[in-house]
């Protein structure tokens, strides 16, 4: 990581920097301990504030996985080095990782991916050196989910202009700071035209302020395809939250796996550094964990603090160790060199301080401007707006023709007319000749006889009461907005 021009941390920390230290779960304490050792050996004194998060906090009944005292520590230090946290899968509390990112507005996730010497992969020798910049707080990871029927669940994908602009600008500023010449924005804008499309449009508007950096759009699926065809073509990739989560794991696999994948979560005035890998409880406490990912995350943290000499010393020693063939952690050794445990590998890295590797990374890390946090709520005001109808989501276990008849009756005498019904995004009423396999969740599109500035709540209430009176159950509704003459809602497959 590099210094932040908007951050006065360097000015404040004339003595030891204060850093919240979260050891985490599973192998977390082992890799965190190894990283703290190499940082100390490099001559950097840090005021570590130890704190808890993750599994043991969930077991205390704290649903966020982050207790109050950890929040207070992070609010004070604005900086953390963090081991992997265990998150319940498919049930239980929220991800503690996501909680930390969102509560401290760590909106940018940085995942550098570089080919390392001594770690052989099918892509060795290709010169892979790229950064995935992932928007970190919006998208599906807003975590707003509802069970709309017993059979159908919904997750809201939220994309804002503010979020798009911040991450786009961050991506360009990172490219400038690292002397990178090109940047891709990767989206699924061909399918999700309002959400992923917004991300693309805002990125392209921001790009105009950075003419010296070549920018282009690529569809996310093609991006994944191209990464395994010709990964060396990429320099910086900016993408949305879930796409970035998946794509960054893919890129880590190109150079040797999650065991060597560092990351940083950067906010306006906060930064959290962590390995990408999980807690690996099956090898916890057995001195088998690969500490490289968190060591490299520690290098990023030192650069963020302006400790460039110490960061280079650790990186040089680590790369020299990989070149030397003296030994590697088990997940990357592949039988070609001795397998070293966590402690022995860390000892070897420290022993190699002062050595200059053949494959030294000579990238010039310049100061970087992180987008400032707005002091007001961002509002994008259209010149004109209208409401042309409403989508009412209804639970129904019958045939679409029967539901259509019931809803036509419900709309009789109201300000609305039923235009169409869709099931899982495909129009089923009026029939189109398609034969979708329906579930009990129906989007029912009612259009106003006359568009208005906003729907009269009483008129909408009468429609909903009539739907209820017909024995139907509704669970959700959305106004159909038109901003500056553009429809701000999607059509169903088959809808005209």
SS3 419: strand
Which of the four pLDDT bands, split at 50, 70 and 90, describes residue 393? very high
d(CA 448, CA 301): 56
Catalytic residue among 221, 287, 397, 456: 221
DSSP, collapsed to helix, strand or coil, labels residue 217 as strand
Asked about 129 being catalytic, the answer comes back as: no
Cα–Cα distance for residue pair 75/406, rounded to 1 Å: 55
Helix axes 308-324, 342-351, angle to 10 degrees: 110
Catalytic residue among 52, 141, 391, 419: 141
25 part of the active site: no
Long-range CB pairs of 448-452 (<8 Å, 24+ gap) are 448/387, 448/388, 448/389, 448/415, 448/416, 449/415, 449/416, 449/417, 450/415, 451/386, 451/387, 451/388, 451/482, 452/386, 452/387
The pLDDT score that the predictor gives to residue 62 is: 87
Angle at 234 between CA 228 and CA 236, to 5 degrees: 130
Instruction: For the chain, list the domains and their CATH numbers.
Output: 1-121+256-380 (3.40.718.10), 131-241 (3.40.50), 385-487 (3.30.70.1570)
Residue 409 CA: distances (Å) to CA of 107, 392, 419, 466, 481: 48, 15, 13, 9, 25
pLDDT at 394 over 90: yes
Catalytic residue flag (residue 409): no
Q: How many CB atoms lie within 10 A of CB 121?
A: 17
β-pair partners for 133:
110, 238
Cβ 261 vs Cβ 134: under 8 Å: no
Q: State residue 334's pLDDT score.
A: 80
The proportion of the chain whose per-residue pLDDT surpasses 90, expressed as a percent, equals 79
Bridge-based pairing of strands 153-155 and 145-147 is antiparallel
Nearest to 112 by CA among 313, 248, 290, 250: 248
Catalytic residue among 188, 200, 313, 419: 188
- For residue 494, what pLDDT is reported? 93
Token readout for 152 is 């159908």
What is the CA 302 to chain-centroid distance, rounded? 23
**pLDDT per residue as tens digits for the range 139-197:** 998 889 999 999 999 999 999 999 999 999 999 999 998 999 999 999 999 999 999 99
Task: At 470, list the tokens.
Answer: 């017909």
Secondary structure (DSSP) of 81-133:
EE------SSSSS--HHHHHHHHTT--EEEEEEE--TT---TTTTS--EEEEE
Q: Which of 245, 316, 331, 391 is catalytic?
A: 245
pLDDT tens per residue across span 376-389: 776 788 999 999 99
pLDDT in tens, 324-361: 999 999 999 887 789 999 999 999 999 999 999 998 87
Q: Report the length, in residues, of the chain.
A: 496
Task: Say what the pLDDT of residue 3 is.
Answer: 42
Residue 151 annotated to the active site: no
Distance CA 473, CA 465 (A): 10
Q: Which residue has the tokens 């805002």?
A: 202
Q: How far, in Å, CA of 314 to CA of 292, rounded?
A: 11
Instruction: In whole angstroms, give the CA distance from residue 250 to residue 123.
Output: 13
């Amino acid at each position: 990581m590099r210094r932040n021009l908007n951050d006065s941390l360097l000015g404040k920390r004339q003595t030891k920097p204060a850093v919240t230290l979260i050891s985490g779960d599973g192998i977390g304490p082992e890799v965190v301990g190894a990283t703290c050792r190499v940082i100390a050996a490099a001559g950097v004194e840090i005021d570590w504030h130890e704190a808890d998060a993750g599994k043991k906090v969930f077991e205390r009944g704290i649903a966020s996985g982050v207790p109050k005292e950890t929040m207070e520590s992070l609010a004070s230090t604005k900086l953390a080095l963090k081991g992997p946290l265990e998150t319940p899968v498919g049930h239980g509390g929220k991800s503690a990782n996501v909680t930390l990112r969102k509560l401290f507005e760590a909106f940018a996730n940085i995942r550098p991916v570089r080919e390392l010497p001594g770690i052989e992969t099918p892509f060795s020798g290709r010169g892979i050196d790229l950064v995935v910049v992932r928007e970190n707080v919006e998208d599906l990871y807003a975590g707003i989910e509802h069970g709309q029927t017993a059979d159908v669940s919904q997750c809201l994908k939220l994309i804002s202009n503010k979020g798009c602009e911040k991450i786009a600008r961050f991506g360009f500023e990172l490219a400038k700071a690292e002397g990178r010449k090109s940047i891709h924005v990767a989206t699924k804008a061909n399918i999700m035209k309002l959400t992923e499309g917004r991300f693309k449009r805002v990125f392209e508007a921001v790009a105009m302020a950075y003419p010296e950096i070549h920018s282009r759009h690529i569809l996310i699926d093609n991006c994944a395809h191209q990464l395994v065809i010709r990964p060396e073509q990429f320099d910086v990739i900016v993408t949305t939250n879930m796409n970035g989560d998946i794509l960054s794991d893919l890129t880590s696999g190109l150079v040797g796996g999650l065991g060597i994948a560092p990351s940083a979560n950067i906010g306006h005035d906060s930064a959290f550094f962590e390995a990408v890998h999980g807690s690996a409880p099956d090898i916890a406490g057995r001195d088998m964990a690969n500490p490289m990912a968190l060591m490299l995350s520690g290098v990023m943290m030192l650069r963020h603090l302006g400790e460039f000499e110490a960061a280079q010393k650790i990186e040089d020693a680590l790369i020299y160790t990989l070149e030397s063939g003296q030994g590697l952690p088990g997940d990357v050794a592949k039988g070609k060199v001795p397998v070293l445990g966590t402690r022995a590998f860390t000892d070897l890295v420290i022993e190699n301080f002062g050595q200059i590797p053949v494959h030294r990374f000579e990238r010039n890390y310049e100061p970087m401007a992180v987008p400032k946090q707005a002091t007001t709520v961002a509002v994008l005001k259209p010149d004109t707006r209208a409401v042309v109808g409403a989508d009412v989501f209804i639970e129904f276990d019958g045939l679409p023709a029967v539901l259509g008849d019931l809803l036509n009756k419900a709309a009789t005498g109201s300000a609305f007319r039923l235009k169409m019904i869709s099931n899982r995004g495909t129009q089923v009423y009026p029939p189109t000749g398609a034969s979708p396999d329906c579930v009990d969740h129906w989007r029912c599109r009612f259009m106003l006889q006359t568009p208005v500035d906003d729907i009269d709540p009483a008129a909408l209430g009468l429609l909903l009461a009539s739907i209820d009176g017909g024995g139907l159950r509704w669970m959700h509704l959305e106004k159909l907005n038109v901003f500056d003459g553009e429809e701000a809602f999607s059509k169903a497959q088959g809808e005209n």
